[in-house]
Structure 1
Amino acid sequence: MDKVFRDPVHNLIGFDRERDALVLELIDTPQFQRLRHIRQLGVTSLVYPGATHTRFSHALGTAFLMKRVLEHFHELNPPPTLQRTLEEHRELLLAAALLHDLGHLPFSHLLEEFTHTPHEEWTVRIVSDPHSAVHAVLVQANPRYPHQIVQLFQRTFQPAFAVKLLSSQLDVDRMEYLVRDSLCTGVTYGYFDVNWLIHSLRLVEQRDDWELAIDLRKGLHAAEGYVLARYYMYQQVYHHKTARAADVMVRKILQRASELLRTGHDLPMTPALRRLLTGALTLEDHLHLDDTVIITALRAWYESDDPVLADLTRRFWHRRLFKTLEMPLEEFTAWSAQLRELVTGAGFDPEYYLILDRALDDPYTDRYLWSNRKEVGEHIFLVNDAGELIELSHASDVIAALRNKTFSQDRLCFPAELREPIMRLLGR
């Protein structure tokens, strides 16, 4: 009998109480339950009010999609060796899919600059830590699981298709967050035919390994739609100018709080947040950090006697967000001195009130994204009727137009009251 979760994206997410017992035990660990209190899109709800969904629901959906993909491969009647491989790794892949975002800090990616550690590395540390409940549950199921999950996250695991399903340009993580983020933000940019894309997935034997591919005849357009959906979501949602301005403000608030702590000021906050802002975050602290910790601190700093911290916090709290102006880095460099003089003359510290934000996106690449050639590549392959692999951009003019192109958007962020003076200075 299944344990069922009602979900707005997948309707019913079910895991068998016996066969998927490991997944259900991992869900109940403190490390995974913490994801209930971390929003998937950080402060994007200031732009899209419905974007209050969490890493918890996304992780459940990702594990569910992994389950669907593996069931699809079984339905294709694979050869006995592949059948055994799929069955052998099923539990491991479901667990890895569930845990893939375990390391996220509050507000998703916003706080990573304070730890100088990406969330993937925190995930590896949690899974590897013998004192974590997640590690204990994994070891009880199979002593090799923690190490194997680390190999999956570090892209060195074999078979290659296992890595690609978990972390690549064609993985269940991206499939899930695109449809969930689209639904919750109320936009349609991220919708693609996920059911047909899964239906079109194939495993192709290559040099004693199995490569993940998409049936050329059935799935080419579904693959194009998937890549384009991600491109549009970055352009229209993830890199929305107002959401980026809100990100900038939170980073500057935390930067100011960090500097005040380092100069001996006392600010109300939890011990875990204090250690994060002073560069002393531990793995135990990580468990005690979520969005509520940051929100509570922001509300307390609203009354701070430091004018910069109080002003930035009040602006954010009342959604008086910074305005933005598209400005390439070269132009900003040329005008930087005059802009800083203008901002200073208006009574603002340019360090906190004049910021050039750069948003980057690589919609599709056929390069290796990693320098270690032992790692599994990032290519999306199609397979033709002869069993030959064709890299996606070689079969699609649409994807070829995006291949290996980095899209960047530079925006100047500043308080609303400086908009007219800045525009006059720039002659716009």
Structure 2
Amino acid sequence: MDSQPIYYSSENTFSSKLKQNNHALNSSIASAESITNFQDSLKTSKVFNDPVHGHIELDGVCMQVIDTPQFQRLRELKQTGAACFVFPGATHTRFEHSIGVCHLANEMIQHLRYKQPELGITDNDIKCVRLAGLCHDLGHGPFSHLFDSGIVAITHPELKWSHEQGSEDMLEYLVKDNSVDITHQELEFIKDLIHGIPRGSYPQAQKTYLFEIVANQRNSIDVDKFDYIQRDTLHIGLKSSLDAGRLIKFARVVDGQICFHQKEAMNLCELFHTRYSLFKRVYTHKVSAAIEYMIQDALVAADPYLNITSAINDMERYVHLNDSILGQIERSTCPELEASRETLLRMRKRDLYRLADQVIVPQALQQRLTKLHISPECIVQCHLELCKSVERSSPYSTLVANDIIVQWLKLNYATKDRHPLESIRFYRKYGNDESISLCKGQVSSFIPEHCQELTIRVYSKIYEKSGYVQRAFRKLLEQVNLELGQDHQLEGIEKEMVCDLDTTNNASAISVFDSGSGIESPIIPICDDSNNVFLQNVTPTRDSKKRSCSVSPKRHSTLFLKTHKEHLDNQSEGMVLDKSALDYNHDSLGKKPVCEESSKPCHKSSHTAGLLSVELIADSALSIPTDFGASTSPFKRSRKPDTRSGNK
């Protein structure tokens, strides 16, 4: 069959060509706009070289936020609070942490968008999630959590203020003050992403999984935790096997929430164990906590004059409040800040609050034990009871509640007393459109049954009173044990300190105190027939106030001072050490002990015969002087010549 020619009318041909030209023109315009936007993005975006995540590229909107006084303030806020006074490497700040969280938030949402396009994640969603990660810590005050959970809670307990609230207020001020390209609806969305709970009526409220990226209120697995665990372990010097990048790669949205592949269960357990380890070893370190209490006392004392805490209601003032507040107090000459300056000077000189004792509360007692059982007032009451039978003139034997700090320290896996596996949803390799839960037995038999630890610490603000505080605290624990039952006992675990209230075993032990601390001088009296003291002062080798020891054969290392047998044989009979004549109050410092005559020979006395045992409470050895100014000292050892060949 012959093919019929196809004829086109001139009108149709012209219309077709016009449509093609219009399409080409529109494509050219779109390409030009795309190129222009890309070029503008290149001009405003920046690349950061991060020690944790490598090279991080942030777009123009993020840079608009970063290049503001409100965000640059984070450079003056240390990430780990006062931990830098104990761990020298912990000097990183909230600034780099916020950039790291922004990067991980972008990685997470970009991964979900690529793997699950059916979720309908838009460019606006990505923009807001990135900004939420970038701005989630804007509201932190000086020394991070110390400000909101300590200083503000003491000065304004009725406010219930938190740094999350501060972050929302500071973000509003940042956008308004710097004309950042963020709409009102986007701002409300970002604030809810920081809070972790949808509270508005914007379209994204239906995408509940978006609120689990930066601050996960359901199971606490979020990119904020990913970053600070990796960053803090790196700077402090701890080792961690946490692989946050792998967790992000195996994240998936199922049933409206972020789930993880079931094979990542152990990686998630490592996440929570590393977090617990950081809190146990770093964030709540006993010395870090003591320094934080000193900073807290200094700022609380300065608050009436500097109006520090009132700045939370005025972001224009709050933007200038950071860790440098300590330097402002120290440089000040105002008499109103004298008490704060003295506290900070003690901190600089390392004259810190002393941990008197601590006790780990058994699980069975955690619900029954309350702050009414153990408080500074209760400890003072027990101290008064101990003092009734003994009259003491020491200026340090008087305790008041303000001398004592009782810290109730709860450590867990970020989900209170529940194991986080109970609130984590997983998916299988096949059939990944259904979420499942895993019990602890399906993951490992080493997962603990109890996931919360309660420790009670007692600090003494005055070092010389720490022995009295410890003795009274342990007396209080005995009373609490009797009240709550004998099945689970509360017992202090710190090394035993000494104080002049120890009258329970005076017949066999003599208390020895640190001579440098101003308590009692360490005196070990040993007398001869001329009433001379051969060995009087036994002092620690460290020139420090922070060591104390007691004479007792009970515990720890033992230092044996051998007596000179020939000297004991030459002792006149009837000379013994009269223990009742020894007074260890401050009034008797430096006095020689009195020896009286008795019918029993001195060399049969339990204090001079054989060996004298000295208990070392501190972890340092004692330096025993070898020359006591008397050539006839039984403790002065003569050097024997070395008879080996070639030596004299």
On whether the aligned pair clears a TM of 0.5, the verdict is yes
**TM-score after normalising by structure 2:** 0.55
Tell me the equivalent position of 2:134: 98
Structure 1 residues 201 and 280 mapped into 2: Cα distance closer, same or farther (>3 Å)?
A: closer
Name the CA distance, whole Å, in 1 between partners of 2:284 and 2:107: 30
CA contact (8 A) 1:55 1:101 kept: yes
Kept after mapping to 2: 8 A contact 1:252/1:352: no
Q: 1:295 aligns with which of 289, 309, 327?
A: 327
Equivalent residues in 2 for 1:30-49, closer than 5 Å? 30-49=69-88
1:63 equivalenced with 2:108 (yes/no): no
Output the CA distance in 2 between the equivalents of 1:196 and 1:91.
Answer: 23
Distance 1:391 1:68, change over 3 A: same
Hey, what's the Cα distance between the residues in 1 that align with 2:71 and 2:142?
14
1:320 corresponding residue in structure 2:
351
1:229 Cα offset (Å): 1.2
What is aligned with 1:142? 183
Correspondence for 1:401: 448
The answer to whether the aligner puts 1:199 opposite 2:235 as a matched pair is no
1-structure distance, mates of 2:379, 2:166? 39
**Paired residues of 2:82 and 2:143 also in contact (CA < 8 A):** yes
1:72 is displaced (CA, Å) by 2.5
Report the residue type matching 1:22 in the other structure.
Answer: V
Q: How does 1:22-37 map to 2 (within 5 A)?
A: 22-37=61-76
Distance change (3 Å), C-alpha of 1:246 and 1:417: same
SS of the residue corresponding to residue 274 of structure 2 reads helix
Aligned match of 1:224: 269
The answer on 1:163 being equivalent to 2:211 is: yes
Tell me which of 148, 164, 178 is aligned to 2:229.
Answer: 178
**1:417 Cα deviation after fit:** 2.4
Higher helix share: 1
Pair 1:75–1:239, CA change in 2 (3 A)? same
User: What is the CA distance between 1:52 and its match in structure 2?
Assistant: 0.7
Displacement, 1:107?
A: 0.7
Structure 1 counterpart of 2:467: 420
Map 1:360-375 → 2, pairs under 5 A: 360-365=410-415
Aligned amino acid, residue 223 of structure 2: V
Residue 85 of structure 1 aligns to a residue whose secondary structure is coil
Residue 411 of structure 1 deviates from its aligned partner by 0.8
State how many pairs are aligned.
387
Q: Which residue of 1 aligns with 2:407?
A: 357
Is the 8 Å Cα contact of residues 311 and 318 (structure 2) preserved in structure 1?
Answer: no
Matched, 1:383 2:427: yes
User: 5+ unaligned residues in a row in structure 1: which ranges?
Assistant: 262-266, 268-273, 369-377
Asked if the contact 1:193–1:225 (Cα under 8 Å) also holds between the matched residues in 2, the reply is no
Q: Which digits, 9 at most, give the CA deviation of each residue in 1:189-208, with x for residues without a partner? A: x541122212221122x2xx
Partner Cα distance (2:374, 2:416) in 1: 32
1:236 aligns with 2:301: no
In structure 2, relative to structure 1, the CA distance for the partners of 1:355 and 1:90 (3 Å cut) is same
Q: Identity, % of aligned pairs?
A: 25
- Hey, what's the Cα distance between the residues in 2 that align with 1:147 and 1:306? 41
Structure 2 counterpart SS, 1:401: coil
- Cα distance change of structure 1 residues 422 and 353 upon mapping to structure 2, 3 Å threshold: closer
Q: Which residue of 2 aligns with 1:253?
A: 298
Shift of 1:160: 1.6
Q: How does 1:108-119 map to 2 (within 5 A)?
A: 108-112=144-148, 113-114=151-152, 116=159, 117-119=161-163
Q: Which residue of 1 aligns with 2:55?
A: 12
Task: Measure the CA separation in 1 of the matches of 2:449 and 2:229.
Answer: 18
Following superposition, the deviation at residue 132 of structure 1 comes to 3.6
Change (3 A) 1:86 1:278: closer
Displacement of 1:282 in angstroms is 1.6
Q: Which amino acid aligns with 1:162?
A: L
8 Å CA contact 1:257–1:277 kept in 2: the answer is no
Residue type matched to 1:47 in 2? V
Aligned CA-pair RMSD: 3.1
* Shift in CA distance, 289/364, structure 1 to aligned 2, threshold 3 Å: closer
Task: Return 5+ residue gaps in structure 2 as ranges.
Answer: 1-41, 199-204, 362-370, 388-393, 476-495, 497-648
Q: Is the 8 A contact 2:417 2:452 kept in 1?
A: no
For each residue in 1:220-253, what CA deviation from the matched residue of structure 2 results, as whole angstroms up to 9, or x when unmatched? 2211111211111111111111111111111112
Q: Look up the SS of the partner of 1:123 in the other structure.
A: helix
Q: Deviations over 1:340-372 (max 9, x none)?
A: 898x9528884543111122233143999xxxx
Q: Helix, strand or coil for the counterpart of 2:145?
A: coil
Letter matched to residue 213 of structure 1: C
Q: Take 2:136 and 2:108, find their aligned partners in 1: how far apart are those partners?
A: 17
Conserved? CA contact 2:52–2:231, under 8 Å = yes
Q: Which amino acid aligns with 2:162?
A: P
2:177 aligned residue:
133
**Alignment partners' CA distance in 1, 2:282 and 2:312:** 33
CA distance in 2, matches of 1:14, 1:340: 64
**Residue 457 (structure 2) aligns with:** 411
CA contact (8 A) 1:34 1:287 kept: yes
Give the Cα–Cα distance (whole angstroms) in 2 for the partners of residues 25 and 131 of structure 1: 9
User: SS where residue 326 of structure 2 aligns?
Assistant: helix
Distance 1:142 1:104 in 2: 24
Contact 2:253 2:259 in 1 (8 A): yes
SS at 2:307 equivalent: helix
Distance 1:352 1:50, change over 3 A: farther
**Which is bigger in relative contact order (C-alpha 8 A, separation at least 6)?**
1
One of 254, 257, 268 as aligned partner of 1:211: 257
| CA contact 2:383–2:399 (8 Å) conserved in 1 | no
Secondary structure of the residue aligned to 2:413 is coil
Q: Tell me, yes or no, if the aligned pair for 2:209 and 2:258 is still in contact at 8 Å.
A: yes
